[in-house]
Structure 1
Amino acid sequence: MTSANDQGKNPMADPARDATDYPEVHPARRKPEDSAPVQTLVFLHGGNVGNWSWDPQVLAFGDFNILTLHLPAFGARFEENWEGLDSAADDVAALIADEVSEGGVHLVGMSLGGVIALHVAARHPELVESVFATGVSIAPLGTAAKAVQRMQLKLIGSEWYWKFQAGAYGMVDNERELFAEHGVKLKPENMRAIMGDLDSGGLPADLSAYTGPALVLAGASEPKFVQRSFPAIAEALPQAAIRVVPGMHHQWNIENPLLFNSVLRRWITGQQLHQVLREPVEPKLRGASFKRTSTLEEIDPQEAEAAAGAAQAPDAGAADSGQPAPESKARGFADRLDPRKLDPRKLDLKSALSKKPPVAKRPSESDGSAE
């Protein structure tokens, strides 16, 4: 494993980061205010970013030892093959055992990293003090949603695609470049294998083995299928607190690092819930609209299933009324995902990204303790 000191890098003094060589080990830079033993935070990144994405948290939690691990097939390990969720969890557990001499760790996982955090807790509960998982989708996807995911694989080698996605996440300029630099290196076969693991649901079989505290979150502006995972998680992990973060999208540790850090600090220092968090509302089964956040659209799987079913049995009434049939609508969406049919004139990054709202300033060390 590599630390900032090993590489002669100081993340506080040198803001430059590398998409595939961000340090994994960050020793505490100051003692906790209550003179308690220094605890360890383990950050597990999502399935389209590297460990560099946790830099706002590394800066803010200087009173903790921090591990920002490279997950298999990502970051410095992008050339490795993905071997499955259980294998990734065992890999994380082995790295924790190597670096943490005493006490359990606070697992913090985003998206794919959140799923892996649940697998670590299930398979190695003795290593875990608490779990904080956000953006976790473990509900099985429908056929149409799977097809959309596979079409996105056509785009992962395109730098413009990652830059547009970065803009949707609210990343600042340097992060946008890192996001694109990292994204184009991901191997399509690994991404396909990860999708295959998650298609049928990524909930670990023995999650009840973990009896410690857990907080499971979703941004209110994430695709609604994320919240559809809540009931299964609640059943498997009844002690978990499950909440929604108003106004936030998927990568909200970057979108609003000050809020993320405040929510996280309250949780890991006493399992307290931040006042901004809200109880989840039962999602609608039908009728929700598509929400555009980038050049691609986030699709509700159930709506996609309904569209697929309608495509197989076209609505004669629609044809009579002169309205486009559901089949043509579904085909039109697929066409928009086909990179061969994209209009280059619509790929003006400077114009598109200039319409994004201002991004919050990079947090200082003191921001992590803000309430």
Structure 2
Amino acid sequence: MERYPVEHGARSGESIILLHGGNVGNWMWEPQVEGLAGRHVITPDVVAFSSRSAEPWPGLRAAADDIAGIIRACAIDGRAHVVGLSMGGVIGVHLAMRHPDVVRSCMVTGAMMTGVGGFERRLAELQLRFWDRRWFWSAQATMFRIPSDARGLFISDGMGVDRAAASGMYREIFDGSMPEGRSAYSGPMLAIAGERESKSVVAAFPALVAAMPQTRTWIAPRMRHVWNIQDADLFTKTIVDFVDRDVVPPTPRTPPPR
């Protein structure tokens, strides 16, 4: 699988920028780019990952500043609808709070803003020990259900990330990276958690609402962490509904016990 381009579609309407998760690259958004055909879509590699793995990890705030620069340079009118997953979601929150002028709307999923502890943290620390082992990345590809035609790039991208960069990124997120205070960003904000992913994502919802009171939240039924691949059509539809109509999917009600 070849390196994925950064810009897609004609320069018309309003731009959408998609921020990928940790240890992968912009190629993870291929299903959404296909589903968003006809729109101007920007899919950058985050600094220190994939095609930019030779660059040192600068920290979440500087990573958000870097994305702001990409939006100003590439997006129509220097503003974009922001969509981020996992690490990309965390960066999206920092972006909205640090550079509200470049954000038209912000949708984040899997963003662990208030930290991770316990077993999850110990597991991540254990994983860092096997960072340079191909079998580890093969197992990760299976766990995240990476499509067969993308597994080779997933493995090479993962092994290509500097261990120090990965450790720094994990440490920031796992220690809790929610910026302090109220944000000047007042546009549409949606925070999503997959029903079957870490509870650390849902635990961050109150902090997001406190910083940006307009934040709405949604639990994606049956979805895991990387649900843009698990259910690409639903993920893309969620983007379109939010970007075009400011609509958040309804949360199914649990039927009453009999």
Same fold (TM over 0.5): yes
8 Å Cα contact 2:6/2:44 also seen in 1: yes
Whether contact under 8 Å (1:93, 1:127) holds in the other structure is yes
| 38, 43, 47: which one aligns with 2:13 | 38
Compare CA radii of gyration and give the structure with the larger one: 1
Task: Measure the CA separation in 2 of the matches of 1:207 and 1:127.
Answer: 17
Matched AA of 1:65: H
Report if aligned partners of 2:14, 2:76 keep a CA contact under 8 Å in 1.
no
Q: Please name the residue that 2:74 is paired with.
A: 99
Would the aligned equivalents of 2:26 and 2:44 in 1 still touch at CA under 8 Å? yes
Tell me the CA shift for residue 199 of structure 1: 2.6
Once the two structures are TM-superposed, the CA of residue 145 in structure 1 deviates from its matched residue by 4.5
Find out whether 1:59 has 2:34 as its counterpart.
yes
Once the two structures are TM-superposed, the CA of residue 80 in structure 1 deviates from its matched residue by 0.8
Q: Are positions 1:23 and 2:11 aligned together?
A: no
| Paired position in structure 2 for 1:154 | 129
Match of 1:229 in 2: 204
- The separation in 1 between residues aligned to 2:253 and 2:96, in whole angstroms, is 24
Q: CA deviation at 1:79?
A: 1.2
Go from structure 1 to structure 2 and tell me whether the alpha carbon gap of 1:206 and 1:75 turns closer, same or farther (over 3 Å shift). Answer: farther
Distance 1:236-1:99 versus aligned 2 partners, 3 A rule: same
- Residue 142 of structure 2 is matched in structure 1 by 167
Query: Which amino acid is the alignment partner of residue 165 of structure 2?
Result: N
In the TM superposition, residue 143 of structure 1 has moved relative to its aligned partner by 6.2
Alignment pair present for 1:263 and 2:245: no
C-alpha separation in 1, matches of 2:67 and 2:177: 17
Distance 1:230 1:148 in 2: 23
In the alignment, the residues of structure 1 paired with residue 200 and residue 177 of structure 2 have an alpha-carbon distance, to the nearest angstrom, of 14
Distance 2:232 2:213 in 1: 28
Q: For the Cα contact (< 8 Å) 1:159–1:180, is it kept in 2?
A: yes
Q: Deviations over 1:15-46 (max 9, x none)?
A: xx33xx321111339xxxxxxx5110100000
Counterpart residue type for residue 25 of structure 1 = E
Whole-Å separation in 1 of the counterparts to 2:6 and 2:182 = 27
8 Å CA contact retained: 2:42, 2:75: no
Distance in structure 2 (CA, Å) of the matches to 1:220 and 1:196: 25
* Structure 1 position 206, deviation (Å): 4.9
Secondary structure at the residue paired with 1:153? helix
Alignment of 1:196-207 (within 5 A): 196-206=171-181
1:217 is aligned to 2:192: yes
For the residues of structure 1 that align with 2:244 and 2:179, how far apart are their CA atoms?
27
Aligned residue number for residue 45 of structure 2: 70
Does structure 2 retain, via aligned residues, the 8 Å contact 1:244–1:279? no
Checking the alignment, whether the CA contact within 8 Å between 2:71 and 2:78 is kept in structure 1 is no
The 2-side partners of 1:207 and 1:78 are apart by: 33
| Alignment length (residue pairs) | 254
Point out 4+ residue stretches in structure 1 off by more than 4 angstroms.
none
1:43 is paired with a residue whose SS is strand
- Aligned to 1:165, the other structure's residue is in SS state helix
- Contact 2:218 2:249 (C-alpha < 8 Å) held by counterparts: no
SS of aligned partner of 2:246: coil
Q: Distance in 2 between matches of 1:278 and 1:243?
A: 10
Q: Percent identity?
A: 35
Change (3 A) 1:64 1:25: same
2:89 maps to a residue whose letter is G
5+ residue gaps, structure 1, are 1-16, 30-36, 281-371
Per-residue Cα deviation, 1:87-142 (whole angstroms, up to 9, x for no partner): 10110011111112416210000001001111111111111100010000012333
TM-score by structure 1 length?
0.65
Q: Counterparts of 1:28 and 1:278 in 2: how far apart (Å)?
A: 36
Q: What SS does structure 1 have at the residue aligned with 2:107? A: strand
- 1:123–1:206 Cα contact (<8 Å) kept: no
Q: How does 1:1-371 map to 2 (within 5 A)?
A: 17-18=1-2, 21-28=3-10, 38-102=13-77, 104-142=79-117, 145-206=120-181, 208-275=183-250, 277-278=251-252
Distance in structure 2 (CA, Å) of the matches to 1:209 and 1:279: 33
1:33-65, CA deviations, whole angstroms, 9 ceiling, x for partnerless residues?
A: xxxx51101000001211100011111111211
SS in 2 for 1:258: helix
User: What's the TM-score once normalised by structure 2's chain length?
Assistant: 0.92
1:328 alignment counterpart: none
